[in-house]
């Protein structure tokens, strides 16, 4: 009897929607994208640290690669132990084992703590060879015995030589996930929320992170991507891993299965791995290969069956077979890191290989450490710099969620290309399209499977039904409708037109990035209306400042009124801009007004330019000797002003999307941190220049804004220290700025004139 395509984990826990779809708007401290074991375990560790977490899953929880795993809970990395030890050193490998054991213990303890019924069993792992004195195996043994305290040289059938790793485990992963989520929802309530059928279709990263789904939106401080393969939003990360497919058979024996209750894998390349799931059933995996290397005459199911007959003999029937994604890093070890171009906002887990259950949990620990500021040795073990990987600057992408583009029929293929196959794959407008020939008709759909992104062009076409090569999801190519699990969402289809031998499809055509930048307003660009309103209100504010000075502060003195009004207006605008940063953190929903903060900064600089030009002309007649009669800032008030002006001008000059792109977000952010020095110098300039003028309504407004802005910044600085500790350079820079404020204030009010 032919075996069925599917994983046994879905037998007792059928695939269905168990959690709501995100609708409307909500907020959270953290957004975790990916509802497999990696995402759920990361969310679990974050919520335990007191953060509120929203988990977004585009399909159903545990229905992706997590639902197609073999349930190995092993701390042994999926690498050549000898090569890893040689490349990074013995101590490095030992630390990897120690970290893996920490993640194992968390899983084991979690199962016991919440009494999760998930067929959990502690066991041993056997890594072995089928021949005696295999050189590569001996090298791995030498590396292993120095790295792991619970490894012994011991073989068990079917191996001739082997090593035994004690204190390992196995379980039913879907039962574990559903049991854990139920326990967390009960314990943490609204601080832990899970949404299914909620694919992240757009991600906006600014002062906060906003993720949009088809029917809702989540706003948070940070985002963790735990999707196996990096999201298209972060395509610059996709090159750090290589996608592969691994295959599994389930063999049901007439008698007890010829295998103990342990975990097994061999040293072949690609290797085979196997274990019992009940008294008479063994699951056997292997035949890992690149997605592009699938071959019709080299069927993994048959290779696994041949292996089973040779190494695990006995009367049996292969009743199930399935496959899944694995994503390999350069050295076979996983990554858990902060995105270098979205520092403090985006955290990524990738490169888990075939050991995603334990090492995915471990990367959840690493990401939690990074978010909370905990300095742990494992952070360095799994950082990008381990392999010297450099992430290029993200390319500016055209948002396709804000418009439909111009629909056109585009020629993408010719009929002759179907000569040897009923399907071909093409790329149009940066989107991969699968074309299918059914009878004499041509159909087109998105080539990326809606379940887990599998390439449909690499699948099997049976009539009008295409089966995804990864997890076996089936779709009707004529309609895109789902015809078989685990997919639950239909495929996007495209109208097709055939003229002679030419095949065209209708799709939305977007201008190139360069063309769009030159001819269109970027999606987040300020509108003319917004700028006009802000400019009008700024003129009103300046007019009120001038009117007060001309009528009350410096009666009938137009020059003095102009100087004071522009100075007060500029400094107050800078105070408003600084205060807004704190307000955005108190209520992330306000961060949608981040452009107002930019307007305030640039507008403040324009007022200060007027202040400087008028004062230099009318008070100093452009004479430097009059301006800089002393270089002591506590004697000559102009010195503090001269310190502030170029810094404020630099910030205003770089306050544009173009500047952010050219400098990169991290460099731009560091440049704009000089606001703390510039603002300090400008306030001290005001205090020295005319202290009585501060004891007026404009002065009270400026001093009140300054006090609120500085208190808000100080509050969030203390909160950051509480979360991250005193282990970051930025913390010490912040302490230096605070000390500088205190020292200069002291000197300002106590230093005697020279």
pLDDT tens track for 125-153: 999 999 887 788 888 999 999 999 999 99
- Mean of pLDDT values over 396-420: 64
Of the chain, the percentage scoring pLDDT greater than 90 comes to 36
pLDDT value of residue 686? 77
* Token pair listed for 655: 């306050």
SS3 sequence of 351-396? CCCCCHHHHHHHHHHHHHHHHHCCCCHHHHHCCHHHCCCCCCCCCC
Which residues make Cβ contacts (< 8 Å) with residue 291, sequence separation at least 6?
Answer: 243, 244, 245, 455, 458, 469
Cβ atoms within 10 Å of 523's Cβ, excluding its own: 14
Give the span between the Cα atoms of 190 and 733, in whole angstroms: 36
Which residue has better confidence, 261 or 468? 261
- The 8-class DSSP code of residue 133 comes to T
592-635 tens-digit pLDDT: 566 788 888 888 889 989 988 988 888 888 888 888 888 888 78
**How many C-beta neighbours within 10 Å does residue 43 have?**
30
Domain spanning 23-67+91-123+170-241+329-386, CATH class = alpha beta
Q: Using an 8 Å Cβ cutoff, are 281 and 257 in contact?
A: yes
Phi, psi of 348 (to 5 degrees): -130, 140
406-510 matches 23-67+91-123+170-241+329-386 in CATH topology: no
Tokens 């299965």 correspond to 257
Q: How confident is the model at residue 400 (pLDDT cuts 50, 70, 90)?
A: very low
pLDDT of residue 103: 95
State which H helix or E strand residue 337 sits in: strand 335-338
Burial 114-133 (b: 16+ CB within 10 A, else e): bebebbbeebbbbbbbbeee
Q: In what order do the strands lie in the sheet with 406-414?
A: 406-414, 502-509, 496-499
Topology of the domain covering 406-510: Rieske Iron-sulfur Protein (2.102.10)
- Peptide bond between residue 736 and the one before it cis (omega within 30 degrees of 0): no
| Exposed / middle / buried, residue 362 (Cβ in 10 Å: 0-12, 13-18, 19+) | buried
The CA distance from 460 to 423, in Å, is 9
Nearest to 30 by CA among 268, 218, 156, 199: 218
Helix (H, G, I), strand (E, B) or coil at 513: helix
pLDDT tens profile 334-389: 999 999 889 899 999 999 988 889 999 999 999 999 999 888 889 989 999 888 88
Rounded Cα–Cα distance for residues 563 and 546 (Å): 9
pLDDT at 544 exceeding the cut of 90:
yes
For 644-674, the pLDDT digits (tens) are 888 888 888 888 766 765 665 556 667 777 7
Cα–Cα distance for residue pair 466/314, rounded to 1 Å: 35
Please tell me the distance from the alpha carbon of residue 553 to that of residue 561, in angstroms, as a whole number.
8
Q: Count the neighbouring beta carbons within 10 Å of the beta carbon of residue 427.
A: 10
Range list of β-strands (E), 12-58: 24-27, 30-33, 53-56
Q: What pLDDT shows up at residue 592?
A: 56
Half-sphere exposure of 520 (CA within 13 A, CB side): 15
- In 10 A of CB 18, how many CB atoms? 15
Residues 6+ apart with CB under 8 A from 55: 32, 34, 35, 39, 40, 43, 192, 193, 194, 195
Q: Characterize the bridge pairing of strands 316-328 and 4-5.
A: parallel
pLDDT tops 50 at residue 75: yes
Whether the CB-CB separation of 161 and 133 falls below 8 Å is answered with: yes
SS3 429: coil
Model confidence at 205: pLDDT above 70: yes
**Do 234 and 55 contact (CB within 8 A), yes or no?**
no
What is the value of pTM for the model shown? Answer: 0.64
- CA 678/CA 737 separation, integer angstroms: 11
Q: Which residue in 121, 166, 130, 134 sits closest to 148, CA to CA?
A: 166
What pLDDT shows up at residue 539?
92
C-alpha distance across the termini of the chain, in Å: 100
pLDDT above 80: residue 728: no
Give buried/exposed letters for 239-260 (b at 16+ CB in 10 A, else e). ebbbbbbbbbbbbbbeeebbbe
Q: Where are the domains of the chain?
A: 23-67+91-123+170-241+329-386, 406-510, 528-750
Buried-state track 712-733, b at ≥16 Cβ within 10 A, e below 16: bbeeebeebbeebeeeeeebee
What are the backbone angles phi and psi of residue 216, rounded to the nearest 5°? Answer: -155, -175
C-alpha closest to that of 672 among 574, 606, 584, 740: 574
- 478 confidence band (pLDDT: 50, 70, 90): confident
Lowest-confidence segment of 79-93, 167-181, 366-380, 446-460 by average pLDDT: 446-460
What per-residue confidence (pLDDT) applies to 520?
32
Burial group, residue 539, by CB count within 10 angstroms (0-12, 13-18, 19+): exposed
| Mean pLDDT in residue range 267-291 | 90
CA geometry: angle 386, 387, 393, nearest 5 deg? 100
d(CA 466, CA 449): 10
- How far, in Å, are 344, 373, 501, 737 from residue 726 at the CA level? 16, 9, 68, 15
Judged against a pLDDT cut of 90, whether residue 233 lies above it is answered with no
* Sign of the C-alpha dihedral computed for residues 25, 26, 27 and 33 taken in this order: negative
Sign of CA dihedral 38, 287, 244, 418: negative
**CA–CA dist 111, 495 (Å, integer):** 50
Which pLDDT does position 265 carry in this prediction?
94
Strand partners, 324: 246
List, as one string, the DSSP characters of 560-622: HHHHHHHHHHHHHHHHHHHHHHHHHHH-GGGGGGHHHHHHHHHHHHHHHHHHHHHHHHHTTTT
- Is the pLDDT confidence value at 1 over 50? no
| Angstrom distances, CA of residue 173 to CA of 220, 286, 605 | 29, 19, 58
Indicate the range of 75-84, 229-238, 350-359, 508-517 predicted with least confidence. 508-517
pLDDT of residue 522: 37
Question: Quick one: pLDDT at residue 527?
Answer: 58
């Amino acid at each position: 009897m032919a075996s069925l395509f599917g994983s046994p984990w879905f037998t007792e826990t059928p695939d269905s929607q168990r959690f709501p779809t995100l609708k409307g708007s909500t907020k959270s401290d953290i957004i975790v994208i990916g509802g497999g074991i990696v995402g759920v375990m990361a969310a679990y560790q974050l919520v335990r640290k007191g953060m509120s977490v929203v988990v977004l899953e585009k399909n159903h929880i545990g229905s992706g690669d997590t639902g197609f795993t073999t349930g190995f809970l092993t701390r042994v990395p999926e690498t050549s132990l000898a090569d890893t030890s040689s490349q990074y050193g013995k101590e490095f490998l030992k630390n990897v084992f120690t970290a893996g054991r920490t993640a194992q213990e968390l899983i084991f303890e979690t199962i016991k703590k919440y009494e999760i019924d998930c067929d959990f069993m502690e066991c041993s792992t056997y890594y072995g060879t089928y021949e005696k004195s295999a050189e590569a195996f001996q090298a791995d043994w030498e590396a292993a015995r120095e790295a792991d305290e619970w490894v012994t040289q011991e073989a068990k059938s079917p191996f001739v030589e082997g090593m035994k790793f004690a204190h390992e485990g196995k379980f039913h992963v879907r039962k574990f996930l559903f049991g854990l989520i139920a326990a967390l929802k009960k314990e943490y309530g609204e601080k832990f929320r899970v949404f299914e059928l909620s694919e992240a279709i757009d991600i906006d990263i600014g002062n906060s992170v906003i993720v949009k789904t088809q029917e809702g939106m989540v706003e948070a401080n940070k985002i963790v991507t735990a999707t196996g393969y990096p999201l298209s939003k972060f395509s610059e990360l996709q090159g750090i891993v290589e996608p592969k497919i691994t295959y599994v058979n389930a063999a049901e024996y007439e008698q007890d299965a010829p295998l103990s209750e342990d975990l097994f894998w061999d040293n072949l390349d690609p290797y085979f791995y196997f274990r019992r799931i009940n008294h008479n059933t063994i699951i056997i995996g292997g035949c890992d290969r690149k997605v592009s290397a699938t071959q019709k005459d080299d069927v993994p199911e048959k290779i696994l069956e041949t292996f089973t007959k040779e190494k695990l003999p006995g009367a049996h029937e292969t009743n199930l077979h399935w496959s899944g994604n694995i994503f390999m890093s350069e050295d076979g070890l996983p990554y858990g890191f902060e995105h270098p171009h979205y520092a403090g906002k985006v955290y990524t887990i990738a490169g888990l290989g075939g050991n995603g259950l334990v090492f995915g949990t471990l990367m959840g620990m690493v990401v939690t450490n990074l978010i909370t500021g905990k300095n742990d040795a494992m952070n360095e073990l799994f950082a990008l710099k381990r392999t010297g990987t450099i992430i290029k600057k993200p390319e500016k992408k055209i948002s396709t969620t804000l418009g439909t583009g111009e629909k056109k029929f585009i020629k993408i293929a010719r009929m002759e290309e179907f000569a040897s196959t009923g399907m071909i794959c093409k790329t149009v407008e940066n989107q991969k399209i699968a074309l299918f020939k059914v009878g004499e008709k041509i159909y087109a759909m998105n080539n990326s499977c809606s379940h887990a992104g599998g390439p449909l062009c690499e699948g099997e076409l049976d009539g009008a039904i295409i089966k995804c090569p990864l997890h076996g999801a089936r779709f009707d190519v004529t309609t895109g409708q789902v015809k078989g699990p685990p997919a639950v969402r239909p495929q996007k289809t495209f109208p097709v037109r055939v003229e002679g031998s030419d095949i065209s499809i209708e799709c939305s055509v977007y201008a190139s990035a360069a063309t769009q930048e030159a001819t269109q307003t970027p999606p987040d660009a300020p509108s003319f209306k917004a700028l006009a309103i802000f400019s009008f209100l700024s003129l009103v504010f300046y007019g009120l400042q001038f009117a007060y000075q001309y009528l009350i502060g410096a009666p009938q003195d137009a020059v003095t009124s102009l100087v004071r009004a522009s100075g007060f207006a500029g400094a107050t605008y800078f105070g408003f801009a600084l205060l807004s940063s704190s307000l955005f953190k108190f209520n992330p929903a306000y961060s949608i007004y981040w452009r107002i903060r930019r307007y305030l900064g640039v507008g403040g600089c324009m007022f200060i330019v007027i202040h400087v030009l008028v004062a230099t002309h009318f008070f100093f007649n452009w004479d430097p000797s009059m301006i800089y009669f002393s270089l002591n800032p506590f004697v000559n008030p102009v010195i503090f002003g001269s310190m502030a002006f170029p810094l404020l001008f630099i910030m205003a000059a770089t306050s544009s999307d173009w500047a952010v792109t050219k400098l990169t977000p991290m460099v731009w952010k560091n440049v704009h941190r000089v606001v703390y020095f510039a603002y300090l110098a400008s306030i001290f300039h005001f205090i020295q220049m005319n202290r009585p003028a501060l004891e007026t309504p404009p002065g009270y407004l400026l001093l009140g804004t300054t006090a609120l802005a500085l208190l808000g910044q100080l509050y969030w600085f203390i909160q950051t220290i509480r979360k991250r500790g005193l282990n970051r350079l930025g913390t010490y820079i912040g302490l230096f700025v605070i000390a500088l404020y205190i020292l200069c204030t002291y000197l300002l009010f106590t230093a005697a004139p020279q």
